[in-house]
A and B are shown apart, each in its own frame.
Chain A
Amino acid sequence: MSNWHRLVWNQRDALLAGLGVTIEVCAIAFAFAVVGGLVLCLLRMYVKPLRPVAITLIEFFRATPILVQLLWVNYVWPSLFGFPDSFFAAAWLALALQSSGYLAETFRGGIEAVPRGHREAAYSVGLSPFATFWRVTAPQVALAAAPSIVNQFTVIVKSSTLVSVITVQDLMYQSQKIVNIWYEPIEILTATAAIYIVVIFAVSIAGKALADSLRSRYGIAAA
């Protein structure tokens, strides 16, 4: 199988560099998605005047395909908002926006799933509403939402394959570049697909293990 050696193994530097860019984009997008989702959720639930705005944004980010959001953020936003100023920024921004919509709904479900009785028990021992939120409600939401958050990371990784379309040099971009040079797609594309599948599989296994351990330790079901 010298084809494999020539096309895949010899190109491993480029592929690893591409994988590095993929991980970078995904990590930044993930961080912003969690923060953004939290902000949108809290705005929707507790800031009455901004509620319709929050709901519209959440539904918009959830209902538009990621490719469309990517292209729109990349080509239209710089003129509208002056940001993003690079393809890389457009990539993680679009990915973050899409996931923040889903995470906002996950957090909302988590908050509503905390039984009212837990709040009442907290008031009965004299905890203030503020202390009740931070010590009783929020930790339970975090634990219940953790598996969904991990799942959303796999969604980000899967969507990240599209950032090659706006010339961000991720793993997909590097492998397509190699295909264009050598015109022999079988080995390289199969290897790329395998890498993505393995990485995403590993993350999803971790997510499942996390969900199982949460359920057995705390009796909290995934939101």
Chain B
Amino acid sequence: MSDALRQSLDLSVFWEYRAVLLHGLAVNFYVFAASAVVALGIGLGAALLRVSRLAPVRWIGTVHVEIFRNAPEYIMVVWVHFVLPLLLSLLLARRLEFDPFVSSVIALGFVYSGYFAETFRAGIEAIPRAHIEAGRACGMPERLILWRIVLPQVVRRMLPESLNQFISLFKATTIVSLIAVPDLMYQVTMVTQQEMRPLPLYTGAALVYFTVIFAAGTLLRALSERWRSKIYA
């Protein structure tokens, strides 16, 4: 076993290919950033639907959330990449194909919009009615109340939970390697096929992801706690 251990920790091959591997990690970040934007936007929209006063509107939001929150990321990525273009082709009578990057962003964005919608909804519903009524009593229009009273508080309240979901989203971007998006895992798989040295390569990949996510997670959590405690005094 100690020989295998030595092999696993001999990261020289990892260092040799560092350029292409680092580029792969950057792709993880691109996918993450794009998906996060989609997920936040749609998630916020779905959350607002779910707190509407009209029952049918609420129902649409609920359906959206329940479908995407309960869908495995991998099957959604595969579905968006292979099925959605075919469906659209039938509709538009044209041959369509999605770039795997686009498929990934759409799939991950929609799946995580489900999680964010729930987080935002919980945050919105946690705002005391009294704050909203105080705004109304001052004569503020509903839209202003939303932007200046409700949303800022929602953001502060839901920051820790949202951070967890961002971290989950970043971890999920590794799935895109399976539809040939050249992220870090994809590059590691390619190099392994070439070099036939899985021990250090997969170990190295695990260590890289662990370091990045653990460091970023800890840092972001510390920053968010400091920011939140300033406001809540």
Contact = CB atoms under 8 A, between A and B. Distances in A.
Interface of A: 59-60, 63-69, 71-72, 75-76, 79-82, 154, 157-162, 165, 172, 176, 179, 185-186, 189-190, 192-193, 196-197, 200-201, 204
Interface in B68-91: 69-76, 78-79, 82-83, 86-87
17 contacts: A60-B214, A65-B173, A66-B171, A68-B202, A71-B185, A76-B203, A79-B4, A79-B7, A79-B199, A82-B1, A161-B72, A162-B175, A185-B83, A185-B86, A186-B86, A197-B71, A200-B71
B70 A201 contact: yes
Interface stretch (B139-147, B152-160, B205-213): B205-213
B150 to A, nearest CB: 25
Main secondary structure of the interface of B (DSSP, over half): helix
A165 B83 contact: no
Contacts, number: 113
Contacts of B210: 59-60, 63-64
Interface residues of B, number: 42
B174 A67 contact: yes
B202 A72 contact: yes
B218 to A, nearest CB: 9
Main secondary structure, interface of A, reads: helix
Given A67-B185, A75-B199, 11 more contacts: A60-B214, A63-B217, A65-B174, A72-B206, A75-B198, A79-B8, A80-B199, A158-B71, A185-B83, A189-B78, A192-B75
Contact of A75 (B78, B174, B202, B214): B202
Given A63-B217, A79-B4, A196 B199 contact: no
A189 B213 contact: no
B151 interface: no
Nearest to A81: B1
B198 to A, nearest CB: 4
